[in-house]
Amino acid sequence: MTAPPAVCEMRPAAELLRVDNLQTEFRVEEGVVRAVNGVSYTVDEREIVGIVGESGCGKSVSQLSVMQLVRRPGRIVGGEVWFEGDNLLKYRANGSEMREIRGAKISMIFQEPMTSLNPVLTIGRQLTESLELHLGMTKKEARARAAELLDSVGIPGAEGRLDDYPHQFSGGMRQRVMIAIGVACQPKMVIADEPTTALDCTTQAQLLELMLSSIEGCQGALVLVTHNLGVVARYAHRIYIMYAGRIVEQGLCRDIFYRPRHPYTIGLLKSVPRLDEERGRRLVPIAGTPPNLIDLPPTCAFLPRCPVAGERCRLEPWPDLEPIDGEGHMARCYMMEATGE
Amino acid sequence: MNENLTTPAVETISAPRVSEWRRFLRVFFQRKLVIVGVAVILIWVLMAIFAPLIATHDPFTNNMKEVLQPPSSQHLIGTDNLGRDVFSRLVYGARTALYVGFGTVIVSAIIGMILGLLAGYLGGVVNAIIMRVMDALMGFPMLILALLLAAVLGGGLQNVIIALAIATIPGYTRLMCAETLSVRENEYVMAQRAIGSKSFRTMVRHVFPNAFQPLLVLITTMIGNVILAEAGLSFIGIGIQPPGAAWGSMASAGIRDLGTLPWLCFAPSLAIAVVVFAFNMVGDGLRDALDPKLRGTL
Amino acid sequence: MTTYIIRRVLWGIVVLFIVSLIVFFSLRLIPGDPVTIWAGQQAGSGGGMSEEMLDQLRVKYGLDKPVPIQYLNWVKGIFQGDLGESIRYKDDVGEILKQRLPVTLVLGLVATVISTVLGIFFGLLAAIRRGKWIDTLVTVLSYIGLCIPVFLAAFILMYVFALKLGWLPFIGYELPWNDFGKSLKQGVMPIICLAVTPLAVTARQMRSSVLEVNNMDYVRTAWSKGLRERVVVTRHVLKNSLIPVITLLGISIGIIFGGSVIVEQVFNIPGMGRMLVDGIFQRDYVIIQGGTLVIAFMIVVVNLIVDISYGWFDPRIRYE
């Protein structure tokens, strides 16, 4: 990992999205799972925000909740999602307001390129349907624009490939198509949910660069959901670290990487190799396993795995986010003096 | 910092360790209809086994003095056109259905599974031949194939079982063949050994756990289908005929009096419908309860 | 795509060949040749025949030749359109089929169309309105449809509409082009009986298919583009859901042909089913052979067409 680039510096920009105390739960036969347990974050225009956490920490569900794409047995049970002056959660999931936003103002790029495209429709059709719907293009216009989009994501022979089917593309190319679909209508914000996890490393890097330049090209913001620290280190302006359905630490990119305060964040960083440290350091994995989210106790969810846990942590409920230093750097921990050295 | 290297951050959420068996039972009996289905099947089996004790009269001998009686305290569902007590014949009909149902399924399942395993294991020409023959068998509507075979072999319980068994083999063959092939694919990829070195016995041992669930569901559905088919056969006049008691032939005998004595037709027909319904319910319940997607985790 | 079609067709021919073998040889399994058995029947009704006369009959029907030759002759005959002469009707089997087949086909075809179209429609409806009353209704009716014997449906309909209400006739059948009104009235009950079970099967499969497709990632992608429900269902869900349901078309036709055996018996309809059953009781093997062969052939061909049409539904198959 290289040092976070200078773009990390905060610049004044308008707030685009504000998620306030979002709560989403799943009712399964064993109990109730609070996948998203009071998550709040903001995204500014043209900003790149990283949401980092292990599988199952609720990061994907939180994004699906923003778009109101959560399906049974999941349900959004609380919170507000402010976008362009409106609380999106007060609209019906299938209502015209949400439909106008999806794909046009906020779009999403999913993790699995192999299954995220409809196998019986041509790639061209899957591109043009957004264009025709949101931008009111005619068939001809949409087709031309689709070819341009495919070209811009680096698919050779774009025009000819419009009539091909997804299974005729490799995984990497399918994800490029997903990026094309994501930016087709020039949305204000793109949510990318683990966009490169299913790909090999060389492709990963290429795809990320492509995604960023595409989104930059349409002046959009990006929410990058991932468990890969390396990815956010390079690109994100601000980062939110999630654990067991809550944000445990948030801040500017450099604060998170150089001055982490939550034991989980520290553990994550320790378990990843870094170029700027001496060779031979052993990677330290975080002890234990991710928690069972069914009927969580009110105490800190990281408690069983925390190396610096104290009495307070065992007795009192999980604390709120407390500001630390830097701009917007906050963490949710009783033992921050211990980690602050 | 704690240097305990227990486990690195694991990808999946761990669910509470509910005992598989108990979970299965719970999901299986969740739906009331499944409970009803199991109850019906139990009643039917008991009725068939204890037929001599339950029947009120002798179902086989004619009694021309009491022909076509309406239901009464003496004859619960009246008598048929030869004076026989309908209720008793119904009870003995359960026996016929039981023999045919289980007999056919056992025979066809065993043969079908063996053929399927062979087809999958040996592959190549053997596979092609077996599967084409199965395709050919499936080209006949079950009833018509059973008709053909029953015509060849003659009527009677045993021949009906043989005919229906032959007609229903393809279902099991296809299932086992598909399962065997997919096991072969996996093993091949993982072990990278020539399949020839994999003994037949190991193959079978790998196939059965995977095939168990769809096989069980198939068998349950098949019992229902076979009972329906047998009813059709005896309805037409092939299969078990009077004085033997079979629900199908009872139903066809009652057509003449449909307008005046409808229960002669409806009683045996409803008996068939209820039993088949029970098997369908149980089959569905099994399928849901055994569904691996519903195991434990979110 | 063409290789796919050609391969399927070739296999189809192999299957047809095996079908003909099954039909031919299964009847030869009966002890004694057809002539002896037929003569035995005749003897029972008082017409004795000398051995020479039987031998003459044998030569006439080609039964004196070894069995494989008989098979080849039979096949040769089929290609020439000659399915033999019915022992009982003393008429060319082809002629008899020409009268009987249309009856069964008309009823069967209408039943197939109705059961498939309605099955798909209701299955889809039940799935996208999952948990609502329409879903429960469709599910319950499907369960009933699956377990009801064809003759029970016939009894219920006959009892209500023919005997008690007297609205519909319950015997006989006139082809639609002879007398459309009468044909319609006569056909209502048989067609309903035939269509009940395939409708239930199709609706169930469609429902479960749609529910499964609904959970697919690409449907989520479709929603995330802001498409409206109608578009997501018709453009993204439908085509994918129909793939397993199309398989059922072949099975439905099989069920309907099987059912027509019973339905024609109950409603006294002069179709293929009746012909086969009568043939079995009269030991008229020629007609059983011809009839079974024709039915099996039709079903194999339908299955072949269904198989090929997969290619249109699922582009991935086209490039195998």
Q: What is the pLDDT of residue C85?
A: 67
Q: What is the pLDDT of residue A8?
A: 45
Is the pLDDT assigned to residue A6 strictly greater than 60? no
Residues of chain B whose beta carbon is less than 8 angstroms from a beta carbon of chain C are: 132-133, 135-144, 147-153, 224, 228, 231-232, 235-238, 248, 251-252, 255, 258-259, 262, 265-266, 269-270, 272-274, 276-277, 280-281
The most confident of A78-92, A325-339, C165-179, by mean pLDDT: A78-92
Q: How far apart are CA A49 and CA A252, in angstroms?
A: 9
Q: B167: nearest CA in chain C?
A: C22
Is residue C129 within 8 angstroms of chain A, CB to CB? no
Is the pLDDT assigned to residue A210 strictly greater than 80? yes
Reported as half-sphere exposure (CB side, CA atoms, 13 A), residue C134 has a value of 12
The answer to whether A117 contacts C235, with C-beta atoms less than 8 Å apart, is no
CA distance C182 to chain B (A): 23
pLDDT digits (tens, 9 = 90+) for A49-91: 999 988 878 889 999 999 999 988 889 998 999 998 889 988 8
Under DSSP, is residue B68 helix (H, G, I), strand (E, B) or coil? coil
Assess contact for B90 and B251: CB atoms under 8 A: no
The answer to whether C236 contacts A67, with C-beta atoms less than 8 Å apart, is no
Q: How many residues does chain B have?
A: 298
ipTM: 0.86
Is the pLDDT assigned to residue B250 strictly greater than 80? yes
Tokens standing for C4?
């796919």
Assess contact for A121 and C314: CB atoms under 8 A: no
* Average pLDDT over all residues of chain A: 85
pLDDT digits (tens, 9 = 90+) for C8-41: 888 888 888 888 888 888 777 766 666 666 666 5
Tokens 């959660």 identify what position?
A89
Is residue C223 within 8 angstroms of chain A, CB to CB? yes
The answer to whether A102 contacts C225, with C-beta atoms less than 8 Å apart, is yes
B-chain CB neighbours of C256 within 8 Å are 141
Q: Which of A255-259, B24-28, C158-162 has the lowest mean pLDDT?
A: B24-28
Residue among C209, C224, C235, C237 with most chain A CBs within 10 A, to mutate: C224
Sign of CA dihedral C186, C192, C195, C197: negative
Tokens 């025709």 identify what position?
A132
Q: What is the pLDDT of residue C195?
A: 93
Residue B154 pairs in a beta bridge with none
The answer to whether C147 contacts B136, with C-beta atoms less than 8 Å apart, is no
- Single-letter amino acid, residue A10: M
* Cα dihedral A319, A324, A327, A329 in deg (nearest 10): -50
Backbone angles phi, psi at A78, to 5 degrees: -170, 165
Tokens 């001055």 identify what position?
A259
Tokens 């507000």 identify what position?
A80
Is the pLDDT assigned to residue B104 strictly greater than 80? yes
Sign of CA dihedral C125, C126, C129, C132: positive
B-chain CB neighbours of A293 within 8 Å are 13, 298
Q: Which of A6-20, A318-332, C282-296 has the lowest mean pLDDT?
A: A6-20
Residue among C14, C17, C27, C146 with most chain B CBs within 10 A, to mutate: C146
Residue A313 DSSP code: H
Q: B264: nearest CA in chain C?
A: C155
The answer to whether B141 contacts C295, with C-beta atoms less than 8 Å apart, is yes
Under DSSP, is residue C85 helix (H, G, I), strand (E, B) or coil? strand
Is residue C314 within 8 angstroms of chain A, CB to CB? yes
Q: What is the pLDDT of residue B9?
A: 36
Which are the contacts of A35, defined by CB distance < 8 A and separation ≥ 6? A24, A25, A26, A58, A61, A62, A74, A245, A293
Is the pLDDT assigned to residue C115 strictly greater than 60? yes
Which are the contacts of C255, defined by CB distance < 8 A and separation ≥ 6? B141, C197, C198, C201
Tokens standing for C117?
């179209």
Q: How far apart are CA A110 and CA A252, in angstroms?
A: 25
Q: What is the pLDDT of residue C28?
A: 73
pLDDT bracket for residue B172 (50, 70, 90): very high
Helix (H) or strand (E) holding A248: strand A246-252
Under DSSP, is residue A244 helix (H, G, I), strand (E, B) or coil? coil
Q: A227: nearest CA in chain B?
A: B11
Q: B6: nearest CA in chain A?
A: A287
Is the pLDDT assigned to residue B127 strictly greater than 80? yes
The answer to whether C295 contacts B144, with C-beta atoms less than 8 Å apart, is yes
Assess contact for A211 and A2: CB atoms under 8 A: no
The maximal CA–CA distance of chain A, rounded, in angstroms, is: 68
Task: Indicate the pairing of strand A15-28 with strand A74-83.
Answer: antiparallel
Q: What is the pLDDT of residue C90?
A: 67
Q: What is the pLDDT of residue C320?
A: 53
pTM of the model: 0.82
Residue among A65, A98, A118 with most chain C CBs within 10 A, to mutate: A118
Tokens standing for B53?
């004790």
The answer to whether C226 contacts A69, with C-beta atoms less than 8 Å apart, is no
The answer to whether C22 contacts B232, with C-beta atoms less than 8 Å apart, is no
Is the pLDDT assigned to residue A108 strictly greater than 90? yes
Sign of CA dihedral A321, A324, A329, A333: negative
Q: How far apart are CA C262 and CA C193, in angstroms?
A: 10
Q: How far apart are CA C123 and CA C139, in angstroms?
A: 9
Sign of CA dihedral A113, A116, A117, A118: positive
Q: How far apart are CA C64 and CA A124, in angstroms?
A: 67
Sign of CA dihedral A159, A160, A161, A162: positive
pLDDT bracket for residue B273 (50, 70, 90): very high
Q: What is the pLDDT of residue A41?
A: 92
Q: How far apart are CA C301 and CA C1, in angstroms?
A: 19
Q: Judged by CB atoms within 8 Å, which residues 236-275 of A form the interface with B? A: 270-271
pLDDT digits (tens, 9 = 90+) for C172-201: 777 777 777 777 777 888 899 999 999 999
Asked if the bond preceding A73 is cis, omega within 30° of 0, the reply is: yes
Which residue in A69, A119, A129 is closest to C315 by CB distance?
A119
The answer to whether C227 contacts A167, with C-beta atoms less than 8 Å apart, is no
Q: How far apart are CA B241 and CA B225, in angstroms?
A: 20
Tokens standing for B297?
């985790």
Which residue in C221, C223, C226 is closest to A117 by CB distance?
C221
Question: In angstroms, what CA-CA distances link B273 with A97, B282, C150, C153, C262?
Answer: 50, 14, 10, 10, 16
The answer to whether A289 contacts B298, with C-beta atoms less than 8 Å apart, is no
Which residue in C217, C218, C226 is closest to A103 by CB distance?
C226
Which residue in A26, A287, A290 is closest to B2 by CB distance?
A287
Residue among A66, A92, A108, A116 with most chain C CBs within 10 A, to mutate: A116
Question: In angstroms, what CA-CA distances link B213 with B113, B176, B208, C247?
Answer: 14, 12, 9, 22
Q: What is the pLDDT of residue B92?
A: 86
Task: Indicate the pairing of strand A330-331 with strand A246-252.
Answer: antiparallel
* Average pLDDT over all residues of chain B: 79
Q: How much of chain A is helix, strand and coil, in % rounded to 5?
A: 35, 25, 40
The answer to whether B15 contacts A56, with C-beta atoms less than 8 Å apart, is no
Is residue A7 within 8 angstroms of chain B, CB to CB? no
Q: What is the pLDDT of residue C34?
A: 62
Please indicate whether residue A267 or residue B81 has the higher confidence score (pLDDT): A267
Residues of chain A whose beta carbon is less than 8 angstroms from a beta carbon of chain C are: 67, 69, 71, 94, 98-104, 107-108, 110, 112, 115-121, 129-130, 133-134, 165, 167-168, 178, 181
Q: What is the mean pLDDT of residues B11-37?
A: 68
The answer to whether B273 contacts C143, with C-beta atoms less than 8 Å apart, is no
Q: What is the pLDDT of residue A124?
A: 92
Assess contact for A30 and A292: CB atoms under 8 A: no
Q: How far apart are CA A46 and CA A15, in angstroms?
A: 10
Q: What is the pLDDT of residue B5?
A: 36
Q: C272: nearest CA in chain B?
A: B144
Please indicate whether residue B67 or residue A250 has the higher confidence score (pLDDT): A250
Q: A96: nearest CA in chain C?
A: C228
Under DSSP, is residue C216 helix (H, G, I), strand (E, B) or coil? coil
Q: What is the pLDDT of residue B14?
A: 38
Q: What is the pLDDT of residue C33?
A: 64
Question: In angstroms, what CA-CA distances link A265 with A229, A255, A332, A337, C121?
Answer: 10, 11, 11, 15, 53
Q: How far apart are CA A20 and CA A25, in angstroms?
A: 16
Q: What is the pLDDT of residue A52?
A: 92
Q: What is the pLDDT of residue B107?
A: 94
How many angstroms separate the first and last alpha carbons of chain A?
A: 22
Which residue in C220, C229, C240 is closest to A120 by CB distance?
C240
Question: In angstroms, what CA-CA distances link B221 with B217, B260, C93?
Answer: 6, 35, 37
* Cα dihedral C42, C43, C47, C50 in deg (nearest 10): 110
Asked if the bond preceding B268 is cis, omega within 30° of 0, the reply is: no
The answer to whether B259 contacts C152, with C-beta atoms less than 8 Å apart, is no
Is residue C135 within 8 angstroms of chain A, CB to CB? no
Q: How far apart are CA C113 and CA A67, in angstroms?
A: 41
Which residues in B49-81 are b (16+ Cβ under 10 Å) and which e?
eebeebbebebeebeeebeebeeeeebebbbbb
pLDDT bracket for residue B193 (50, 70, 90): low
Assess contact for A31 and B18: CB atoms under 8 A: no
Backbone angles phi, psi at B292, to 5 degrees: -65, -20
Q: What is the mean pLDDT of residues A169-182?
A: 90
Q: How far apart are CA B138 and CA B126, in angstroms?
A: 18
Tokens standing for B269?
């027909």
The answer to whether B273 contacts C149, with C-beta atoms less than 8 Å apart, is yes
* Average pLDDT over all residues of chain C: 82
Which residue in C222, C226, C231 is closest to A134 by CB distance?
C226
Helix (H) or strand (E) holding A52: strand A48-52
Question: In angstroms, what CA-CA distances link C302 with A333, B138, C17, C297?
Answer: 69, 12, 16, 9
Residue B240 DSSP code: S
Q: What is the pLDDT of residue C61?
A: 64
Which residue in B141, B224, B258 is closest to C255 by CB distance?
B141
Q: What is the pLDDT of residue B12?
A: 36
Which are the contacts of C35, defined by CB distance < 8 A and separation ≥ 6? C54, C57, C58, C61, C63
Assess contact for A238 and A250: CB atoms under 8 A: yes
B-chain CB neighbours of A289 within 8 Å are 7, 9-10, 14
CA distance A57 to chain B (A): 9
Q: Which of C56, C52, C54 is nearest to C35 (CA)?
A: C54
* Cα dihedral B24, B25, B31, B37 in deg (nearest 10): 110
pLDDT bracket for residue C319 (50, 70, 90): low
pLDDT bracket for residue A339 (50, 70, 90): low
Q: What is the pLDDT of residue C63?
A: 67
Q: What is the mean pLDDT of residues A163-189?
A: 90
Q: How far apart are CA A303 and CA A279, in angstroms?
A: 31
Percent of all residues in chain B with a pLDDT value above 90, rounded to a whole number: 11
Residue A320 DSSP code: P
Q: What is the mean pLDDT of residues C202-228?
A: 91
Residue A34 DSSP code: E
